[in-house]
Amino acid sequence: MTYEGDVLVGQDKIGEKFLSLPANKIQVGITNVDVHPNENSVLIFVCGQVQCDEDQVLPFCEVFFLRKFNHCFLITDSMFRLGLHNF
């Protein structure tokens, strides 16, 4: 997983990252979802808005790569970015 440029490998590292986030309440609104199936995988691109606690609402994008494994799909990779721009 890549979260804001930080590469996290393995369930333990990903779990530690989510537990380290300072938010108590997270609200997510999905704007768009694009899905591209392939022979044994699916690429999913999600755009939306996220709000942590009472902070301002921020745009985000997230990509998931799902791979077929034993008749089910597993998330094998994902990338998350806030849509922050410095003009």
* pLDDT tens digits along 11-67: 898 888 888 888 888 899 999 999 999 989 999 999 999 998 999 999 999 999 999
Task: Kindly list the domain boundaries of the chain, sorted by start residue.
Answer: 2-82
Residue 22 pLDDT = 82
Could you give phi then psi for residue 27, rounded to 5 degrees?
A: -115, 135
Instruction: Name residue 35's beta-bridge partners.
Output: 44
CB 10 within 8 A of CB 1: no
Regarding predicted confidence, which is higher, 87 or 33?
Answer: 33
Could you give the maximum distance between any two Cα atoms of the chain, in Å? Answer: 47
pLDDT of res. 49: 96
| Torsion angle in degrees (nearest 10) through CA of 75, 35, 3, 29 | -110
Token pair, residue 12, equals 């333990």
Q: Which CATH number fits domain 2-82: 3.10.450.50, 3.40.50.2300, 3.40.605.10, 3.40.50.720?
A: 3.10.450.50
